[in-house]
Every structure is written in C-alpha cells, then in structure tokens.
Structure 1
Amino acid sequence: QKAFESTLEVAKTTRNEVSLKTIAALRANAEAGFAHLEALVAVKSPSEFFELQAAFVNKQIDTSVEQAKTLQAVMLRATEDVSMPIKDAFEKALKNLKAA
C-alpha cells in the first residue's frame, strides 16, 4: 500500500511538471507567433515577406524539435520515477520470499 501511495504522489508531482513544461512551450510558441505577426505588419515587399516567413518557419521547426525532446525526457523520467516504488516493493517481496 505504501508503494502505491508513493507511486500516486510521484505521479501527481510528475503530472504537474509535465503540465508546466507544456504550458511553457505553448506560451513560447504563442509569443513567437505574435512577434512574427508584428514583424509581418512592417514588411515592405513580397520578397521580405517570404524571407521573414521562411526564417520563422525554420525557427519554429527547430523550437518544436527541442520542445519535443524536452517533453520526451520529462516523460521518460516520469515513467521511471512512477514505476520505481512498485518495482522496489516487488524486488523486496521477491527477496523476502527467497530468504524464507
């Protein structure tokens, strides 16, 4: 029961961390989008528009890749952290059975 309680607590903490990382990524993307729109308003030629647009898309792709890597790392660590109390309890029970 302690292992399950510990697992639930870790899951709650992890959920909060994932939520905060997701919100931060969404905020960064929204701010980048608004900054890009502001820059587009000042465009003086079609070539400048296309250049600005291409640069924005390339930067957003790079940003998205980095954000995905960050979230993947958090989720991987979360999976390991959440499963650890149950794994430890199982190993302890197995060790006690072998000793008996």
Structure 2
Amino acid sequence: AAWRANAETDFSHAEALVRAKSLPEVFELQTTFLRKRVEMGAEQAKEFQELATKAATDVSKPVKAAFEKVLQDLKAA
C-alpha cells in the first residue's frame, strides 16, 4: 500500500510539472511535493515501526511461553 501511494504521488507530481506554465509554478509544485513526501515518509515509517513491533511481539510469544515452561519445570524439579 505504501509503494502504491508513493507511486501515485510521484506520477501526479510528474503530471503537474508537465502542465506547469512558469518556472515559479514549478518551484512551488516541487516545494509542495517535497513537503508532502516528507510527511508521507514519516507517517509510513511510523506505520512500519508499529507493524514491526507487533510482528516481534507475535513471534516472541511462543518462545517466551516455552522459556517460562522450562523455568517452571526446573523449579518443580
């Protein structure tokens, strides 16, 4: 989804640049585009971080459970 959003933004920007009628308009479009891309990048990085944290938590649950079981077995022995 992030790649698609990035590609759509890039293509829209390219189309707008082609339609620009003056150099100041190109600069304005470029500035707006760069600001939007930075915002999108920050938002996507946050989403990726949340997904990575969730994945790490989900993956570690069985390991944690197995470790706790071993500790309980050692205490019982």
**After TM superposition, is the score higher than 0.5?**
yes
Structure 2 residue corresponding to 1:62, chosen from 39, 48, 53: 39
- Structure 2 unaligned runs (5+)? none
Larger Rg: 2
Residues 20-99 of structure 1: pairs in structure 2 closer than 5 A? 24-99=1-76
Alpha-carbon RMSD across the aligned residues, in angstroms, is 0.8
Q: Following superposition, which runs of at least 4 residues in structure 1 exceed 6 angstroms of deviation?
A: none
1:77 Cα deviation after fit: 1.2
The normalised TM-score by structure 1 is: 0.74
Unaligned runs of 5+ in 1: 1-23
Q: Distance in 2 between matches of 1:93 and 1:37?
A: 59
What is the aligned-residue identity percentage? 55
Higher relative contact order (CA closer than 8 Å, sequence separation 6+): 1
Task: Give the TM-score normalised by structure 2.
Answer: 0.94
Instruction: Give distance in 2, aligned partners of 1:68 and 1:34.
Output: 21
